[in-house]
Structure 1
Amino acid sequence: MSEPSSFRLRPSALSRAWPWLAALTSGGLLTLCFPRWDQGWLAWLALTPLICAAFFSHTAGRRVGLRKAALGFVAGLVFFTSTFHWLSTTLSELYQNPWLLALAPLVALVFGFYFAFWTWFIGAVLVRADAARKFPRSLSNLATAAAGASAWVAHEWVRERLFGGFGWNGLGVALHRDLPMIQIAEFTGVPGLSFLVVFANLMAVIVVRRIIGEIGPVFLKRVRWEFSLSIALIVLVWAYGVRQLWRNDLGPGVPLRVVAVQPNIPQTEKFDPAMQERIFSELAKLTGLAAATRPAAQLVLWPESSTPRSMFADDQSYHFVLDQARALSGALLLGSTEFDPDTLADYNIAALLTPRAGQPRIYRKMHLVPFGEYLPLRPVFEPFCGELVPSDFRAGTEFTVFDLPDPRIRIAALICFEDTLGELTRRFVQKGAQALVNLTNDGWFAQSAAAEQHLANAVLRAVENRRPLIRCGNTGVTCAVDAYGRVDRWLRPFQQGFAARDVHVPTAGPLTFYTRHGDWLSHLSMLATAGVLVRALFAWWRGRGARRGSLADGAASR
């Protein structure tokens, strides 16, 4: 008895479904590359299902480009919703506002277009001329992979800057624990790591497809040197990293005795005026214990927005901070806020108080977090999340570098998410910073993956600039990252306490190539991507003219 036709899996149904399943798979694999799962090794193959769908599905018919873009959008929707889910879950619970549950999906809906562009680019532009998708020529294959990797780097660069920018979890960040591979960041920054990973994913698909197409009598007669060159590139990067880690030599330096205070104030209490006395008491207790440590601390750190109100808000807050600083033999660096009566603006600041200085030195945060420190398009979004951002901070304009009296070194204070921005951080090092300090408060996001993702993104700043990064968080992650990306965790997250450590600060290290030239690879990638698009546009225009000519000739012959 024959099986009913309704229960048969027809090839046409499978051919329609597999590209979407592949897109979903890539979105899921990309999510696993980052904390809380942190399986960075998956980055080397996470994009291959999406690339297969872009290359080998919907190769004919109408709206081919739109279908390719839709595949990328689906992958991006899965990745950004899942990897940034903490935006919705933690903030909606903190503010008891169900509207905030839509925050992560809304971010994903916007960011999904970046993946859509990339999948359209590789599937509808790069391989348009190769209808069979057999990839028979080595040089052409290398160019295809390089162009595809350039387009990926280009869209990550745009994501970091457009609409205030939120460049967290670029693909290269997935390698943050792979110390040998990330050492090239001193030349290329994170864009170089992203380029390498995407290039490897593309070459994996291209080489396998070429091998499958050439199985037969001529299989052993063909030289596929694009495979050899790709492996050689990865091995070369790894070998350079091993060499740098083995040498472990940044030149002369001095030890800096640092005490980081982690007060672990719950976010529901942190800005409550009724809790001010309790918070002052906790800070005073921890700072007093820190002052008693031996050898004496040369730099004591409090996290971002240490006190419930600005240290300049009233005499009580100001004198509390001054009294704590005077009790120390070293400097105190803390996060606070400042109101400028001249500009009538609020600033998120870091303030340095030293034993000999009369007035604190101030750095005003330059990169503000959208929907955190200011509300874009406030008239539109205020009904939904105005409670989240009741007023806007103003961005600072000066790359302030602080001078410590003992030892005589220069440090830069990066506030909140600023240590995730390579282009911003390198400017401080250009100004003379020998060590980087991050003051942050990730308590907003409770015990989610946000704090670990923040740290993963920050690790690369130390490698890019060959400068140590010291992090002090209200709830964590309080740690130090050395100039090679090795993380030394000082306190467990959500543990109240302080930690005293010596941090080696290089005093004569040269500026790295990345520090001097910044995101040069991103700029080249933008140019390369634009060049491919212009070439494709001219090819389409010529083809359109040729088709019109042939139609006219046919009409005339009739």
Structure 2
Amino acid sequence: MIIHVFLLPALSAVLYWISSQAFSFPLAVWGCLVPLGIALFRTSPAKGFAAGWVYGFGFWLAAVWWIRIPLSTMVGLSAWTAWGWTLVFCALSALPYAVFGFLAGKFRLFERQAGVWFAAAALAVLRTWTPQVFPGSEAHNLYGWPVLLQALDLGGAPLLLFLVYLVNFQIVRALTARGSSGSPWPALAMIGLVFVLLTSYGTWRLESMDRERQAAGPKRRITVIAVQPNVPVSVTDPAVLPEDRTNDVRTALAMTREAFRRFPHADLAVWPEIPLLYSCGGEAARDLPPLAREAGRPLLVPCASPAGDAGRSYYNSVILIDPDGRAQEEYRKLLLVPFGEYLPLERELPFLRKFFPGVMPFVPGDRGVVTYAAGSAARLIPSLCYEAVFSDHTRRFVRQGGNVLVNMADDAWFGKSPASVIHLSLALFRSVEYRIPLVRVANSGVSVFVEPTGEILPGSPTPLFQKAVSAHTLYIPRKRSPYAVWGDAFLYGLTLLSVAGLAWLCLGRGFRQERRKNSCAGPAGGDR
């Protein structure tokens, strides 16, 4: 029992960890769920639930263990309390995997080919539709393999996640088919077909985009300066170099002024979020217009503005200062980080503030979608930190004409951990999904420039916890992707098929049980 309920699911979690940014063996994701699938083969519903939960807990612990760092540095919890809440988060987030394990055990999904397809669809649907604070998945570990990512422009992250699960479960089917009815060859053929389709489509899309890029004129390009001032969260943070412990807004201003001189042909400069309350109507209105007029180029800068309740709460905002020094419409962040930028249910349960004293007093924006004109053809999509990981949020801006995603983040709160690269991997999917370039500007790194194909520009990633300035040119395609038009049509279709499949399994099971009951009663029923 311990092998199937604990050891095999734990091995799957370890394989996921190996595929993650911590070890950088991403192709292991195509087999990380195989031990879990073997554990679920011919298991009971209860054991399946337990095995699924063990894997889910291990998956989330490997993926987001670092959230305990901001729970201490930002929220103000003790180290042990921060670890406790991290484990609670992992335990709750594991429930979709537990439900999947229950279904796999109840309906014996891995004993036939149709069940394998249903298993992949059901798990993708469960993972995608379950409300999530952090929408990461196994598929995001493939962010460094552009040829495998191009299918995102058809069905988004749910399509790639479904294919990852399908390959894993087909491997399980191939390994177990000899001991049950059937042959391993259909499963092996399906695995080969998935990779042929993925790589063929990916190669075609990459080559097509490269031809478009080479044929495009200068009006379809934008050159952006990314300013990484490395403003410390705490002057005692050991991750920060001694010479950077006094960095502040003046550091960013000086770096920007020098960058405009170094890169005279850049179209604009972008700042990241910084761990200081930089007022839109105060310091920003004082500091930025003279700099923009001096350079003759715009600045895109995060700032904070009061929410109109006597200074008790703020909007986390972005403003564009044009070359004439005029501030354009303020974008106010729509998606806030729970337990970081706001405290859920604080109005209903004000005592929660005693348990989470350092949660910031931000409120969601009230101005909706805002995009900014820049360069010849660019419409900038302002994206503050967390917002870039949600595809449906980005789609709203794309449908309003946005074609360059600018993600401004401050990952210094996470210390020296894989968090910044994980954050990047989630945001990078938006580039491929919508065929738009991504400029990611982070206070302490990793800042990076990403092509519409999801390819990271060579030389653009910056080091962690160092000051850096970089400028790169990105291509802006004229047309958006099918996914930008269709939205989550694939996910809706997969959901309908999963619901229909579950209904068929339930009805078929009930019919078989009723038939067995009638056959057992047989003639005896007539004698009575």
Residue among 281, 293, 298 paired with 2:262: 293
Q: How does 1:77-226 map to 2 (within 5 A)?
A: 77-92=57-72, 95=76, 97-98=78-79, 99-125=81-107, 127=109, 133=111, 135=112, 141=113, 143-159=114-130, 162=131, 165-213=132-180, 224-226=185-187
Counterpart position of 1:388: 358
Q: CA deviation at 1:68?
A: 0.9
Taking the aligned partners of 1:484 and 1:269, their CA distance within structure 2 comes to 39
Counterpart position of 1:3: none
Q: CA deviation at 1:538?
A: 2.8
Conservation of the 8 A alpha-carbon contact between 1:48 and 1:205: yes
SS in 2 for 1:292: helix
For structure 1, which segment, 229-238 or 277-286, has the greater mean C-alpha deviation from structure 2 after superposition? 277-286
For structure 1, which segment, 379-388 or 368-377, has the greater mean C-alpha deviation from structure 2 after superposition? 379-388
Q: Provide closer, same or farther for how the CA distance between residues 544 and 266 of structure 1 changes in structure 2, counting only shifts above 3 A.
A: same
- Post-superposition Cα deviations, 1:220-274, rounded to whole Å, max 9, x if no partner, equal xx7944532431232121122122223313363533221111010111269xxxx
Taking the aligned partners of 2:37 and 2:246, their CA distance within structure 1 comes to 57
Counterpart position of 1:231: 192
Taking the aligned partners of 2:527 and 2:345, their CA distance within structure 1 comes to 60
SS in 1 for 2:41: helix
Conservation of the 8 A alpha-carbon contact between 2:407 and 2:439: yes
* Residue 45 (structure 2) pairs with residue 44 (structure 1): no
SS in 1 for 2:330: strand
Give the length in aligned residue pairs: 508
Taking the aligned partners of 1:532 and 1:380, their CA distance within structure 2 comes to 45
* Residue 392 (structure 2) pairs with residue 423 (structure 1): yes
Q: CA deviation at 1:447?
A: 0.8
Q: How does 1:254-293 map to 2 (within 5 A)?
A: 254-268=220-234, 279-293=248-262
Taking the aligned partners of 1:105 and 1:195, their CA distance within structure 2 comes to 27
Counterpart position of 1:334: 301
SS in 2 for 1:104: helix
Taking the aligned partners of 2:158 and 2:249, their CA distance within structure 1 comes to 43
Q: CA deviation at 1:19?
A: 3.8
Conservation of the 8 A alpha-carbon contact between 2:340 and 2:360: no
Q: What are structure 2's unaligned runs of at least 5 residues? A: 237-243
Letter matched to residue 212 of structure 2? L
SS in 2 for 1:487: coil
Counterpart position of 1:7: none
* Residue 18 (structure 2) pairs with residue 21 (structure 1): no
Taking the aligned partners of 1:399 and 1:269, their CA distance within structure 2 comes to 36
Residue among 443, 456, 469 paired with 2:438: 469
* Residue 55 (structure 2) pairs with residue 75 (structure 1): yes
SS in 2 for 1:327: helix
Counterpart position of 1:348: 316
The alignment's TM-score, normalised by the length of structure 1, stands at 0.84
Counterpart position of 1:400: 370
Counterpart position of 2:341: 373
Counterpart position of 1:309: 278
Q: CA deviation at 1:69?
A: 0.7
Taking the aligned partners of 2:6 and 2:462, their CA distance within structure 1 comes to 43
Letter matched to residue 250 of structure 1? E
Conservation of the 8 A alpha-carbon contact between 1:276 and 1:307: no
Q: Provide closer, same or farther for how the CA distance between residues 473 and 381 of structure 1 changes in structure 2, counting only shifts above 3 A.
A: farther
Conservation of the 8 A alpha-carbon contact between 1:290 and 1:297: no
* Residue 516 (structure 2) pairs with residue 516 (structure 1): no
* Residue 12 (structure 2) pairs with residue 55 (structure 1): no
